[in-house]
Amino acid sequence: MKNAQARIAASALAIATIIAATPAYAAGVAAGTLIENTAQATFDDGTGTTTVNSNTVSVQVDELLDVTIASQDASAVPLNPDTAILTFEITNTGNGPEAYNLTANPTVTGNDFDTTIDEIAYDSNGNGIYDPGVDTVIAQGGATPSIDADNTLTIFVIASSPTGALTDGDTSQVNLLAEAVTGTGPAGTTFAGQGVGGSDAVVGTTNADADTDGSIIFNFTPPPTVTLVKSAAVSDPFGGSEAVPGATVTFTIVATVNGTGSVTGLHVTDAIPADTTYAAGSLTLDAGSLTDASGDDSGIGGASGIDVDLGTVASGNSHTVTFDVTIN
C-alpha cells in the first residue's frame, strides 16, 4: 500500500511539472523537457473499487537544430553610390537556444557583376536599421550570438561595387548562409550531449542550415548638365541702343545646372570682345557687385576677361553673371 501511495504522489508531481512547462510550446516543446506518462486503472474486485497506477515512463525532449533565413529587402537594393546594405532575418526554428555561423558569398551564378563583402553585422541595438560602428560586426564564417527558440535576428551585409564600369540595370546577388554552430547534416543527424542541458542535439528537416540571396542593382544616374545663356544689351551715350563708339554693352550670362546631383568647381569665364574695354567694377553675381580683384570674393574682372567661381551648384539652380564693356 505504501508503494501505491508513493506512485500516486509521484504522478501528481509529474503532471504539475509538465503543466508548468506549457508556455514554451509555441516553437515546439523546449529542449530538455521531460514527457512523463502514467496510466491509472480502477476496477471492481467484488469487495469494492480499487485503483492502481502504472509506473511513470519518461522521455526527454532533445534539442532540435533548425533554422530559416529570409531576405528582408522588398526589391533589389540600389548601389548608393557604390555600396549596398542588404538585410536578412534568421529564425531559430529549433527548440533550444542556438548560434549560427554566417557566410556571405558575393559570387552567385547569374550575377552581372560580383560585389565585395565589406562587412557582416547583426542588429545589436534591435532597431532594424544598419548603424555603422554600433551594430556588432561578425567575421566571415563567424557566429551570431545565441538565438532563443522561435526568435529572430536581423543581419546586415554591406557589399560594395567592383571597380570597372557597370551598365544601367546590372544586378548582383549575395548569398548568405547560416549554419547551426552545434552542427549540420541530414535530418536526424545527432550530436551526443551537445544539446540543452546535456541532451543530444538532433538535426531537423532544415538540415540545420539555410541560405538565401539578397539582390543588388546598379542604377545609372547621368551626371548633371550645365547650360550657359549669354545675352547683350547696348546703351549708347545718347540714350539709345546703337552700337556706336562710347556705347556700353552689358553682357548677361545665366548658368543653369540640370539633372540629378550637383556640379562642383563651376566657373563662368568670358573674354572681353575685341575693340571693347572692360568697364571696371561692373562685374555682378546674382545682382550683387563683385570686385575686380582676385582673392577677395568669387569674381575677377579685367582686360583679360572675367572669371566668377560658382563653386558647388546643385541641380535646379541657376546663377546670373553680368559685366559691362564700352565700345572703343
Partner 1 sequence: MKTSFLMPILAIASSLPLSAQPAFAEDLVMLKGDVKVVRTVVEEGKERSMLAAPTDVVPGDKLVFATEYHNTGAKAVENFVVTNPLPAAVRLADTSGGFDVSVDGGKIYGNLASLTVSDDVGSARPAQYSDVTHIRWTLARLAPGERGTLTYTAFVR
Contact footprint for partner 1 (CB under 8 A): 1-5, 8-9, 11-12, 15, 18-19, 21-22, 25, 28-29, 33, 35-47, 49-64, 95, 190, 200, 202, 204
Q: Which stretch of DSSP H or E encloses residue 306?
A: strand 305-314
Q: What whole-number distance in Å separates Cα of residue 145 and Cα of residue 131?
A: 18
Q: Which is nearer to partner 1, 34 or 254 (CB)?
A: 34
Q: What whole-number distance in Å separates Cα of residue 44 and Cα of residue 186?
A: 52
Report the nearest approach of partner 1 to the CB of residue 98 (Å): 13
Per-residue DSSP letter, 169:
T
Q: Which is nearer to partner 1, 158 or 201 (CB)?
A: 201
- Quote the radius of gyration of the chain (alpha carbons, Å): 39
What are the φ/ψ torsions at residue 284 (nearest 5 degrees)? -135, 155
Q: Which is nearer to partner 1, 63 or 179 (CB)?
A: 63
The residues that bridge with 297 in the sheet, in sequence order, are none
Residues 6+ apart with CB under 8 A from 290: 283, 284, 297, 298, 299, 301, 308
Q: Which is nearer to partner 1, 35 or 229 (CB)?
A: 35
Per-residue DSSP letter, 112:
S
Report the nearest approach of partner 1 to the CB of residue 123 (Å): 27
Report the nearest approach of partner 1 to the CB of residue 177 (Å): 23
Report the nearest approach of partner 1 to the CB of residue 181 (Å): 18
Report the nearest approach of partner 1 to the CB of residue 36 (Å): 6
Q: Which is nearer to partner 1, 67 or 79 (CB)?
A: 67
Residues 6+ apart with CB under 8 A from 38: 7, 10, 11, 14, 53, 54, 55, 56, 57
Taking the mean position of all CA atoms in its chain, how far away is CA 203?
31
Report the nearest approach of partner 1 to the CB of residue 100 (Å): 18
Q: Which is nearer to partner 1, 68 or 256 (CB)?
A: 68
